[in-house]
Amino acid sequence: MNPALAVLALSAFLLMFVLPKVFFRSDGSMNLRWWITATPFGLSFWGVGMAWLGVSPRLRGIGGEAAVALDIAGMILLVGSIAMMAATMATNRVPLALWHQDGTQNQPRQIVTYGPYRWVRHPFYVSFILLTLGAALITRDAITAAAFPLALLSLDWTVRNEEKKLLASPLGDEYGAYRARTGRFMPRLTDLVSR
């Protein structure tokens, strides 16, 4: 495994892991549902570390040009993940609630529709998806490969819960209109053409 890519991936994960402490609202708690959602990302982090040390189970011996192509694709995804996290933090002027909070802690204070939110409703989650996929591409091991679909499932579960609460909030009509015109994790093709 390329050591520079391992450092890049581990750095991106560390940025992701400090977000709850440095960016998100402090009135939430890391409850059981929060930890369930976070688990695939921790698994992927440890997978990168173990692959770097050479102790994780490799999926298949891929070498030569295919390995270089996967490393380049993984690096692009990792850099994109870091850029998306930074852009999303820069766009939000009001800290967001942690995942899976009860009561009014998930109550939105505003609906952000500019910056990365212009293209996708959940840019932080997009950055997390890019990160876990990039990690799987650069390590090509069983741990990070398993973490990627688990991350998708956990984020889908999280988004369903969050959006249900957003739609039921006082800003529900505004969020519903935004949701109708903006993709969840990927921009809609019509958005790319019309904007």
Q: Is the pTM of this model over 0.85?
A: yes
Which pLDDT tens digit goes with each residue over 17-63? 998 888 887 777 788 888 888 999 999 999 999 999 989 888 777 77
Tell me: pLDDT of 106 over 70. no
Band of residue 99 on the pLDDT scale cut at 50, 70, 90: low
Q: Is the Cβ–Cβ distance between 132 and 151 less than 8 Å?
A: yes
Bridge partners, residue 120, by sequence: 183
Structure confidence at residue 16 (pLDDT)? 94
Which pLDDT tens digit goes with each residue over 138-162? 999 999 999 999 999 999 999 998 8
The CATH number covering residue 101 comes to 1.20.120.1630
Q: Give the span between the Cα atoms of 92 and 70, in whole angstroms.
A: 33
Domain of 87, in residue numbers: 3-194
Based on the structure, what is the number of domains in the chain?
A: 1
Q: Is the Cβ–Cβ distance between 138 and 2 less than 8 Å?
A: yes
Kindly tell me the sign of the dihedral angle through the C-alpha atoms of 69, 70, 71, 73.
Answer: positive
Q: Is the Cβ–Cβ distance between 59 and 138 less than 8 Å?
A: no
